[in-house]
Structure 1
Amino acid sequence: MSSLLVFPGQGAQQPGMLRRLPQTPEVQACLQEAGEVLGQDVLTLDSAEALAATRAVQLCLLIAGVACVRSLLQAGATVNYVAGLSIGAYPAAVVAGALGFADALRLVSLRGELMQQAYPQGYGMTALIGLDLGAVEGLLAQVHSPRMPVYLANINADNQVVIAGSDAAMQAVAELARGSGVGVARRLAVSVPSHCPLLEQPAQTLAAAFAGVTLQVPRLGYLSGSRARPIRGVEPLRDDLAFNMCRVVDWRGTVQSAYERGVRLQIELPPGAVLTGLARRVFEQGSVIAFDGARLDTLQALLREEESRDR
């Protein structure tokens, strides 16, 4: 049996999320390193006001994920796979040993700025719950136009899909979904239209920045949230990280792929437990648990237990 660490994407952020991290030496060292690389006190990034900016949100998610994993694994516990939803791919790559933390901080800072500058207002993402993928694609076809762009963005579960686009277009799709009698639409705390062609140009700019960054072959199994399969080579990983902002997320397929590869323990890194809820629909056997609200020694014991079964 195997274990998987998963890292949430934008929309999971919470005010005070960095201040609520465990007070371990590993967390403190991570916060200090991040501050030195970014040239600022990173604890200023997690206020409600600061989190209105995409850059702050993405940096907080990166820092929280890496800091908590360093605490989790410091006692000798090991993990087999990592996967991240959208920005969560960056802490996943750091934990896998493929991307240096300092490089990740600089790239994520740029990533957030590029995304925010491309669409400073009037765009975002909306979750549609209760409709299957085919039904959502039908609604998108009714609404999408050059003046009202809206696209499929995330496949989170059989009946949970996220769309991205202009406010007006998403509102039109939401009204059609509600009119179907089974759909629920919920606007997400994301101010940019991620995971669709609208972000192709910012992704190209980020890819140019990636060209000067040294990557390593992942030491752990790195599951792509876009491709729903492992990525082992350096150049495919570079492509995956640079362009995941404009590619559809197949999180349902990613979790299913992990389960089919023998994963029976999933731990979701902070903040929140959204990915834990989604995984329960896939994990017929095994355990899914969120770091938030769990004891650190309990999580370490679960990892050691899963490792012993894997031998």
Structure 2
Amino acid sequence: MNQTASDDAGDRPLLALVMRLAGIAGFAVMAACIKLASESGIHLAELMFWRQFISLPILLAWAMLAGGLGTLATKRPRAHAMRAGYGIAGMVLNFGGVILLPLAEATTFGFTGPLFATLLSIVILRETVGIWRWSAVLAGFAGVVIIAQPGGGNIPLFGAAVALGGAFMIALISIQIRDLSRTDKPLAIVFWFSVATVVATLPILPFVHNQLNTGQWLLLLGIGLAGTWGQVLITMALRFGKVSSVIVMDYSSLIWATLLGWLIFSNLPTIYTWFGAPLVIAAGIIITWREHVLSKQRLAEQARLPGT
């Protein structure tokens, strides 16, 4: 009882919401910088390298402030290596989706992560999924079909497939992170993924690097800073608010993507996106809400068990 009261006392829901909102804005700025950098001729591998390389000194400084380099320790290097492999593949696909699609559509396809997570929970975790989540999954993928308009030519199908692949990888990675979080701190998980990405992309740079101008270097700096800003803030938001209460802010990224797509690239979402996106967003919210309800029910059942 005392622990629960202490945890509740540490909650600052308004601050958590603001932090999550600002973090999502950081990721939106990063996406816009990625698209601009790619259009200027910078290779995907170089974008990935600088995204993570710039974050390393920031993460190290954060570790020192959070208790020293010991916070980065791990006894599960193999698990981190697997997470890094999936993470790098997901990064290729998510960056690729941003490069190949308008920002709003790439962002909307990214919202399918909870749909894939639900399907993976059935296959990998052997969870039972009820009518609420199944209905949400079907509605969400109906929204994807509306946006993509297969055969209609409004959205490049290859770009849509790449973005959906990125969302699938995020869902798969979330299961790995959930497992890693049992033993390792979130900062350690983020740090070792950054190190792995830098090591994996560094040997490619001599083959893809071209002379960069000042504007391109600024874009690369913007990718690294905005991505780290987003990563730090969405992580810190979970210190002051519950996942179920702050995750709804993630859908604000569609607002940022639409605004930046219009201001920078003169692109507005198609009419199909306006019809399909609400279905995808509603599906994600329903799945998150339902998982929160089921989690509370499981905790209540455990509390009623004798000896607990």
User: Which TM bucket (shorter chain)?
Assistant: under 0.3
More helix by share: 2
Answer with 1 or 2: which has the greater Rg: 2
TM-score by length of 2: 0.28
